Amino acid sequence: MIRACVIGFPIKHSRSPMIHGHWLKQFGIAGEYARVEVRPEELREFLGTLPERGLAGCNITLPHKEPACNYVQHLDDRGRRTGSINTVYVRDGQTFATSTDGEGFVENILWRLPSFSFSGKTALILGAGGTSRALIDEMLRRGADHVLLANRTPEKAEKIAKVFPGQVTALSLAHLDDALSCADLLVNATSAGIADAAKIVVPFARLKQDAVVTDVNYVPLVTPFLQEAAAHGHVVVPGLGMLLHQAVPGFELWFGKRPVVNDALYTLIARDIDPGYAG
């Protein structure tokens, strides 16, 4: 029996067990993927004893993605550049870690818009947390020309811009007009927009006409941010697909088979979020 899990605090809302459970069943693998609540003060001990716990690895979610980098034995280049990890796997009794958030983000866009290319594109990202760093890293790797990074607290965006010299420009959320007029892709990577009350306000009328709009939040499936973008005529890519695609490399690392994200899986998870989801 191969065992893996997702750790976080809180953890009860994680949909990762449904995703990996679906694939385990599909491949007929004798495996298990659980949900484990790990408090911040327990993180070091938990990650330090993964092999002893009989785990092939784990996913890491909030609030552990950044501190976890300090508690694994081998951090890959992605993890080092983004300072954030979401996937740990055990090899020869040692812990290895990477971040698959950037890959999940990019693959979700390409899944929904197969003719989209990041090459030469300008992206405008709202929000400068750990997720933004992973997205920037992967978009640049896929050939994006420039990333404009706007944050409520500009210092945080400036700090990230220094990690990618010449490729990322930090902005204030209050001065978006010029950035909106030249962005090919607009991303909400803030945690705002989950509830209507905290909705992030963007002057969509200024956004380049053919810009694609996406959101890393997926509850509700079409966030208020995406609803507004769609109302302004933009092609929108909901964020749930990012969650599904970021899970692919982890499953392969632990269980040895590379799964495929398809509409059946999307519908399964979408209905768990919104029972009225009709496809």
Which residues are at the interface with ligand ATR (CB under 6 A)? Answer: 127-132, 151-153, 156, 189-192, 198, 200
Which parts of 17-162 are beta strand (E)? 31-37, 57-60, 74-75, 87-91, 94-98, 122-126, 146-151
Nearer to ligand ATR by C-beta: 127 or 250? 127
Taking CB atoms, the residue at the shortest distance from ligand ATR is 129
Nearer to ligand ATR by C-beta: 106 or 128? 128
Question: CA 96 to CA 93: how far, in whole Å?
Answer: 10
CB 74 within 8 A of CB 97: yes
CB 100 within 8 A of CB 107: no
Place of tokens 């990618």: 164
CB of 174 to ligand ATR, least distance (A): 10
Nearer to ligand ATR by C-beta: 219 or 268? 219
Nearer to ligand ATR by C-beta: 95 or 132? 132
CB 66 within 8 A of CB 84: yes
CB of 63 to ligand ATR, least distance (A): 8
The residue type of 183 is A
Q: Could you give the residue numbers annotated as active site? A: 65
In DSSP terms, 124 is beta-bridged to 148, 186
Encoded tokens for 131: 């997720």
Nearer to ligand ATR by C-beta: 31 or 239? 239
CB of 104 to ligand ATR, least distance (A): 13
CB of 209 to ligand ATR, least distance (A): 25
In DSSP terms, 6 is beta-bridged to 35, 59
CB 134 within 8 A of CB 82: yes
CB 265 within 8 A of CB 22: yes
CB of 202 to ligand ATR, least distance (A): 10
